[in-house]
Chain A
Amino acid sequence: MFTQFSTWDIVRNLLEGGKWTLALTLIAFVLGGIAGLLVLFARIAGSRLLQTASKAYIEVFQGTPLLMQLFIVFFGLSLAGVDVSPWVAAAIGLTLFTSAYLAEIWRGCVESVSKGQWEASASLAMRYTEQMRYVILPQALRIAIPPTVGFSVQVVKGTAVASIIGFAELTKTGSMLANATFQPFMVFGFVALGYFFLCYPLSLYAKHLERKFHVAR
């Protein structure tokens, strides 16, 4: 006997999945932001070794599909004897992915601060760390806000691949519902709407910030 699903049942279940999509996004973004900051500092540090290592890190995560990264974290960790849930694997994978991209975005922002700012602060006898803290980073931060918010849209959409390793976020919930209801078109229509309602305000906000900072400069 088949259970009958009302449209409301579908939406209710999808909202439940959507909550996990949101949670995964937030975790990936916050932890990825912190890790990204560390990678950024390594990337722009004076040390050759740190520069090369961070550059390799960024290249690896930008040069391979997110799906492969998740597989490697999920299956790699189990192979190493660490039993991770799909939830933890997805969080780790997306955090690494996010950190690599944010580090690269932010590096661009730091480098867009003009050479004259470095020279002026250097001529005032400030050391590298003082120049960074008081002159360069405050300016880079302003420049970084719009592209960072813009990138958060990519993270939201990126969480969809976590469905492959069985994490019941929005997409996975959708495919389970599609199998149970035989109404894939309607179900995935709702899934797409869900992503859109998460992403669209973020894009709008990013555009707004871009315009605001553009005018302010």
Chain B
Amino acid sequence: MSLVKIAGLHKHFGSNHVLKGIDLEIAEGEVVAIIGRSGSGKSTLLRTINGLESIDDGEIVVDGATLHAGDKDLRPLRLKVGMVFQQFNLFPHLTAGENVMLAPTVVKKTPRAEAMEIARKMMAKVGLAEKFDSYPDQLSGGQQQRVAIARALAMNPRVLLCDEITSALDPELVNEVLSVVKQLAAEGMTLVMVTHEMRFAREVGDKLVFMYQGRVHEAGPPRELFANPQTEELASFVGSIN
């Protein structure tokens, strides 16, 4: 039984048909890397999984929470799905710790003391226990992104979506973020990530999904796909980045 099940997913931006029937199943604890050229629909696909992009047809099921075209109440789905963004999107008026505490207190009505305890645990998990009271603008990009991960984890999601989370970082800060992700993967977190870090995808990913023109063009274990691409498009994509 898969944790995430996407079936017959279609999405249009105006006259532009960006997702043309996506079927994808993700098992619990699986690490999925979605790759492809810009405009292939990979980010859009990721963003549909927690309802940031509406869908026009098809179905998404995450651990029993379903999403169909036109659904208005996205909360059940979003309680199961966490997300980390390319631009971090920390709340600049709150400290790192308050960023992590906000959703548990507001959404889940967790008592403050308990939320604080969760937040401290999550901040420690991403290696930033001592930055609890710092404001986002006092942190480096890598630290901000790790706080963003802690913030998502504090809601105890079943699956974590990562949308090019290292793309906005200076090269020397990429590894500190990737190592947190790697640790999450090792702990059995289900991860779906859109990434340009091919080496990381190969190393940590269980499944690689290659998107091409709004479709899943190829999918499978990363090592096999990289070593032996079945389609010309993937071969040329792999060739262009290596």
Q: Do A and B bind each other?
A: yes
Interface residues of A (CB under 8 A from B): 114, 116-117, 119-127, 130, 134-135, 138-139, 142
Chain B residues within 8 Å of A126, by CB: 103, 106-107
Residue of B nearest to A135 (CB): B91
Is B102's CB within 8 Å of the partner chain A? yes
Chain B residues within 8 Å of A127, by CB: 75
Further 11 A-B residue pairs, CB within 8 A, beyond A119-B85, A124-B102: A120-B83, A123-B152, A124-B107, A124-B151, A124-B152, A124-B155, A125-B75, A126-B106, A126-B107, A130-B107, A142-B93
Contact check, A125 vs B155: say whether CB atoms are below 8 A apart: yes
Contact check, B107 vs A123: say whether CB atoms are below 8 A apart: no
Is B171's CB within 8 Å of the partner chain A? no
Q: Could you tell me how many residues of chain B have their Cβ less than 8 Å away from some Cβ of chain A?
A: 25
A138→B91 CA distance, assembly (Å): 10
| Majority-rule SS of A interface residues | helix
Please count the residue pairs between chain A and chain B whose beta carbons lie under 8 angstroms apart in the complex: 60
Is B111's CB within 8 Å of the partner chain A? no
Is B92's CB within 8 Å of the partner chain A? yes
Q: How far, in Å, is A179 (CB) from chain B's closest CB?
A: 55
Given A119-B85, A123-B82, A124-B152, residue A130 in contact with residue B52 (CB < 8 A): no
A117→B83 CA distance, assembly (Å): 13
Contact check, A125 vs B107: say whether CB atoms are below 8 A apart: yes
Residue of B nearest to A216 (CB): B137
A35→B170 CA distance, assembly (Å): 47
Contact check, B52 vs A117: say whether CB atoms are below 8 A apart: no
Q: How far, in Å, is B151 (CB) from chain A's closest CB?
A: 7
Chain B residues within 8 Å of A142, by CB: 93
Chain A residues within 8 Å of B78, by CB: 122-125
Contact check, B89 vs A119: say whether CB atoms are below 8 A apart: yes
Which of B78, B79, B82, B148 neighbours the largest number of chain A CB atoms within 10 Å of its CB?
A: B78
